[in-house]
């Protein structure tokens, strides 16, 4: 199901809730194939309001599974467990909801599409009620006293009444979310669902065909005369420039003049420099790529595969430019000019392909000891060397052998065509220091759950929310922030 279809059904279901047609709303929500965390939350709320507690629990499980930082989902599932008299699980969910507040007094969900504020004092209020149900009156009193300390508005008088009930060892009411509250889709996206006719209806003003009354996008056309005897060669072949090559290994650029390519890409080499760097074209972009990362492609076989009937003479294809390919840029300021020479020396080394969770390629001089090889691979993977284990296939063997210093002499004999393949696995290292990043720009909090910082502040990464947001700690506070506002501390040095 496309995003547009999901958005349309989501908006339709929310409209049914506003009309108090919860049956139709639930039916539409359940028919959505790709349910997001917010849609699962809405389904859970509808089931909870219908007192279908098992279905509500399942929906809130789905919501939390897709967003483990959605505090309001933990809050609603805690209410569900409370109504099912599963007080231990209810207590854990309320405690997790309070943890996701990250020390803030509230979370305003309006920017996310729901007009609701989850207050820390109300989470503590429900936590105290669960303790009371379990007969732990002292713990219940502690939770309510803590709720009084973080209470931000005078309207929360029910906390005072709950504390009076606890002193008499009596139960009190549970704080719940209003039934009509739902996560709504982004109104700007919904507005774009309406079709807009920017062109209008086409009309033929004048046609070369007599008596042509057609009104539309394509009037009648006269038959062409003097049709050529054989098809015209495709213009795309006439526009090719340079020699085609296949990319063997991934190349990540370090300067603006280098070009990022992946294994399997087809590039056209314009010029190969004396420093073993090649100037290539890929996706209409020009840049530098190490020539050792490329392999010439047989254009004759490629032409047969696409079944191009006519052959193109060399006179039809423009000659490659005669200008010399630019040398590799010097890199960052302050580095010595020997960077290019160092890179060129790397190409004479053995190219080692390492299969990990992903595949990487590194240049290593043959004959290096085990610790040196492990250190190079560890730096490339950005993982501690102590957590990595290398292995390889011995000649004539079908089982991988763990690589140690005693195996290095045999391993280097496996090099073929200046290529070697290794396998790598990693174990968990609990001693690894937490990742730190440096703020490039100032960030001001838009919601209570955001983390404010200034340029140059060092932030400790707590978790990755998604591709665009990170959770971190800075200056004694924690919260979420855009990942594009920071850079890795090692890269900043």
Domain holding 394: CATH number?
Answer: 3.10.20.90
| 411 close to 397: Cβ distance less than 8 angstroms | no
| 199, part of any domain | no
| 259, part of any domain | yes
| 73, part of any domain | yes
**How would you class 283 by CB atoms within 10 Å of its CB: exposed for 0-12, middle for 13-18, buried for 19 or more?**
exposed
Tokens, residue 339: 């960077």
The angle at the Cα of 449, spanning 444 to 454, to the nearest 5 degrees, equals 30
Q: Which pLDDT belongs to residue 349?
A: 75
Q: What distance in Å separates the CA atoms of residue 443 and residue 72, rounded to the nearest whole number?
A: 25
| 384 close to 377: Cβ distance less than 8 angstroms | no
- DSSP secondary structure string for all residues of 5-73: HHHHHHHHHHHHHHTT-HHHHHHHHHH-SS--HHHHHHHHHHHHHTT-HHHHHHHHHHHHHH-TT-HHH
| 465 close to 69: Cβ distance less than 8 angstroms | yes
CATH number at residue 449: 2.30.30.40
Q: Which pLDDT belongs to residue 207?
A: 55
Tokens, residue 88: 């231990």
Q: Which residue has the tokens 């193109």?
A: 312
Identify the domain boundary among 385, 407, 426. Answer: 426
| 200, part of any domain | no
Q: What is the pLDDT along the chain (493 residues), one digit of tens a residue?
A: 577 788 888 999 999 998 999 999 999 999 998 889 999 999 999 999 999 999 999 999 999 998 989 999 999 999 999 999 999 999 999 999 999 998 898 999 988 889 999 999 999 999 999 999 999 999 999 999 999 888 877 778 889 899 889 888 899 999 999 888 899 988 777 777 665 555 666 655 555 555 555 555 555 555 555 555 555 554 444 345 678 998 888 888 878 888 888 888 888 999 887 777 889 998 878 899 888 888 888 654 444 444 433 444 444 444 444 434 444 444 443 444 444 444 444 456 788 888 887 778 888 888 889 999 999 988 888 888 888 899 988 887 778 889 888 889 888 888 888 888 888 888 765 455 678 899 988 888 877 778 889 998 999 988 787 878 888 889 888 888 888 888 887 665 5
One domain for residues 180 and 46: yes
- How many structural domains are present in the chain? 4
443: left (phi over 0), alpha (psi -120 to 50) or beta: beta
Q: Which residues contact 54 (CB under 8 A, 6 or more apart)?
A: none
143-173 CB burial, b ≥16 within 10 A, e <16: bbebbeebbeeeebeebeebbebbeeeeebe
One domain for residues 463 and 418: no
Helix ranges (DSSP H) in 400-459: 408-412
Q: Domain residues for 75?
A: 3-187
Alpha-carbon distance values, 300 to 208, 236, 247, 268, 271 (Å):
44, 16, 18, 15, 21
CATH number at residue 20: 1.25.40.10
The residues that bridge with 247 in the sheet, in sequence order, are 294
One domain for residues 35 and 161: yes
One domain for residues 156 and 49: yes
One domain for residues 126 and 22: yes
| 35 close to 60: Cβ distance less than 8 angstroms | no
Q: Which residues contact 483 (CB under 8 A, 6 or more apart)?
A: 467, 468, 469, 470
Q: What distance in Å separates the CA atoms of residue 375 and residue 384, rounded to the nearest whole number?
A: 9
| 279 close to 326: Cβ distance less than 8 angstroms | yes
One domain for residues 59 and 10: yes
One domain for residues 274 and 382: no
Distance from chain centroid for Cα 432: 23
One domain for residues 153 and 284: no
One domain for residues 264 and 390: no
Q: Which residues contact 68 (CB under 8 A, 6 or more apart)?
A: none
Alpha-carbon distance values, 239 to 64, 193, 261, 284, 319 (Å):
53, 40, 21, 11, 11
| 37, part of any domain | yes
| 219, part of any domain | no
| 321, part of any domain | no
Q: Which pLDDT belongs to residue 21?
A: 92
One domain for residues 65 and 128: yes
Q: How many Cα atoms are found within 13 Å in the side-chain-facing hemisphere of 332? A: 7
| 211, part of any domain | no
One domain for residues 294 and 177: no
Distance from chain centroid for Cα 314: 46
One domain for residues 119 and 262: no
Q: pTM for the full model?
A: 0.43
């Amino acid at each position: 199901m496309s995003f547009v279809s999901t958005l349309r059904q989501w908006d339709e279901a929310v409209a049914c809730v506003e009309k108090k047609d919860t049956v139709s709303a639930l039916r539409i929500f359940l028919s959505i194939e790709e349910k997001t965390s917010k849609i699962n939350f809405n389904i859970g709320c509808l089931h909870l309001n219908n007192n279908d507690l098992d279905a509500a629990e399942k929906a809130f499980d789905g919501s939390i599974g897709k967003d483990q930082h959605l505090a309001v989902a933990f809050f609603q599932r805690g209410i569900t467990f409370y109504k099912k008299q599963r007080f231990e699980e209810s207590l854990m969910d309320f405690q997790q909801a309070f943890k996701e507040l990250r020390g803030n007094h509230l979370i305003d969900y309006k920017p996310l599409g729901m007009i609701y504020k989850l207050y820390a004092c109300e989470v503590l209020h429900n936590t105290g009620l669960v303790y009371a149900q379990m007969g732990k009156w002292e713990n219940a009193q502690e939770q309510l006293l803590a709720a009084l300390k973080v209470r931000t508005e005078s309207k929360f008088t029910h906390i005072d009444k709950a504390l009076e009930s606890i002193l008499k060892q009596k139960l009190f009411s549970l704080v719940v979310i209003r039934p009509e509250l739902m996560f709504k889709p982004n109104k700007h996206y919904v507005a774009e669902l309406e079709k807009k006719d920017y062109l209008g209806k086409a009309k033929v003003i004048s046609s070369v065909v007599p008596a042509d009354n057609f009104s539309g996008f394509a009037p009648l056309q006269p038959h062409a005369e003097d049709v050529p005897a054989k098809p015209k060669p495709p213009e795309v072949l006439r526009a090719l420039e340079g020699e085609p090559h296949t990319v063997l290994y991934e190349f990540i650029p370090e300067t603006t003049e280098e070009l990022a390519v992946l294994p399997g890409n087809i590039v056209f080499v314009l010029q190969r420099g004396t420093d073993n760097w090649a100037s290539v074209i890929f996706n209409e972009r020009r840049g530098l790529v190490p020539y050792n990362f490329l392999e010439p492609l047989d254009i004759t076989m490629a032409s047969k595969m696409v079944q191009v009937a006519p052959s193109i003479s060399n006179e039809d294809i423009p000659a490659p430019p005669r200008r010399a390919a630019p040398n590799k840029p010097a890199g960052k300021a302050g580095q010595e000019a020997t960077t290019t020479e160092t890179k060129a020396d790397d190409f004479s080394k053995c190219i080692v392909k390492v299969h990990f969770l992903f595949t990487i390629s590194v240049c290593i001089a043959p004959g290096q000891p085990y610790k040196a090889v492990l250190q190079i691979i560890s730096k490339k993977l950005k993982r501690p060397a102590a957590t990595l284990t290398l292995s390889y296939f011995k000649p004539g063997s079908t089982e991988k052998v763990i690589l140690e210093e005693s195996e290095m002499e045999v391993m280097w004999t496996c090099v073929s065509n200046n290529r070697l393949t290794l396998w790598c696995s990693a174990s968990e290292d609990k001693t690894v220091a937490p990742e730190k990043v440096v703020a490039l720009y100032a960030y001001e909090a838009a919601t209570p759950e955001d983390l404010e910082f200034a340029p140059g502040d060092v932030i400790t990464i707590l978790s990755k929310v998604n591709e665009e947001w990170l959770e971190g700690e800075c200056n004694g506070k924690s919260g979420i922030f855009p990942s594009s506002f920071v850079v890795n501390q090692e890269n900043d040095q």
